[in-house]
Amino acid sequence: MSTVDLRNNVAIVTGAGRGIGRAIAQRLAKSGASVVAVARTLSQITETCSLIKANGGTAIPIAADVTQEADVSRLVEQTIAAFGRVDVLVNNAGVAPLMRIEQTSTDDFDTVIATNVRAVFLCCRAVWAPMAKAGSGAIVNISSVGAFDPFPGFAAYGAAKAFVNTYTKALAAEGAERNIRVYAVAPGAVETTMLRGAFPDFPTDKVLAPDDVAALVEALLAPACQHSCGQTVIIQK
């Protein structure tokens, strides 16, 4: 059941085509938000929006590469054109290739940084002005427990998510005077195609459902959490 009233709110969710992002988009829509589902693959976010609409929610798909400044600017412009505002941003898009340093090409490294770091910066910056103008807003950045305990093969990914945690804390301080709240959520293992692609035999009893993460994101948007912004909240089994 929904625990937060997000009616009259507009929420952008990146990486919303599957997994955690789809679950977050569905959760926020059930709470009453008009959802903008974002990913590079239009067919995936179209499916996400269809699922939301089938349950009585409001959602539109916008295909965009959130590592690209022009795409991110267009995304926010189209969101405001469609709904008149943006109240919530969830930076969920990410990549987590499992490869040790000797296997990691410069292109591999650049992709990890672009998707997990640059995209967070671009999206946060793009929504900052409309949120500041409105006098309120909330941003939730999806991090990872790998930021605290990266294991072999996830060096670049863990470091990128550590950036997300520090950036979250810094932006929360900047946003305080404008009533813009910023949080990070750091999941452990979540049952997604990304997890199974890297760890096909990971124990099922140690894995979260995508909706477990979505429920936490939703909870952070409640007024009761307004004095906890800047924190990175860990969720894992």
What pLDDT digit, counting tens, does each position of 139-185 carry? 999 999 999 998 889 999 999 999 999 999 999 999 999 999 999 99
Q: Say which of 83, 157, 167, 183 is annotated catalytic.
A: 157
Pairing of strands 10-14, 180-187: unpaired
Are residues 184 and 141 in contact, defined by beta-carbon separation less than 8 angstroms? Answer: yes
Residue 29 resides in a domain: yes
Q: Which pLDDT score, from 0 to 100, does residue 189 have?
A: 86
Residue 46 resides in a domain: yes
Considering the entire predicted model, what is its pTM? Answer: 0.95
Q: Residue 143 belongs to what domain range?
A: 10-235
Residue 130 resides in a domain: yes
**First CA to last CA distance, the chain:** 21
Residue 4 resides in a domain: no
Question: What total of structural domains would you count in the chain?
Answer: 1
Residue 157 designated active-site = yes
CATH number, domain with residue 153: 3.40.50.720
Q: Which pLDDT score, from 0 to 100, does residue 217 have?
A: 98
The neighbouring-strand residues paired with 183 are 140
Q: Which pLDDT score, from 0 to 100, does residue 1 have?
A: 47
Tokens of 95: 């990549």
List average pLDDT for each run of 10 residues in the chain, which is 237 residues long: 85 97 98 98 98 98 98 98 98 93 96 98 98 98 94 93 98 97 94 82 90 97 94 96
Residue 54 resides in a domain: yes
Altogether, the residues listed in the chain come to a count of 237
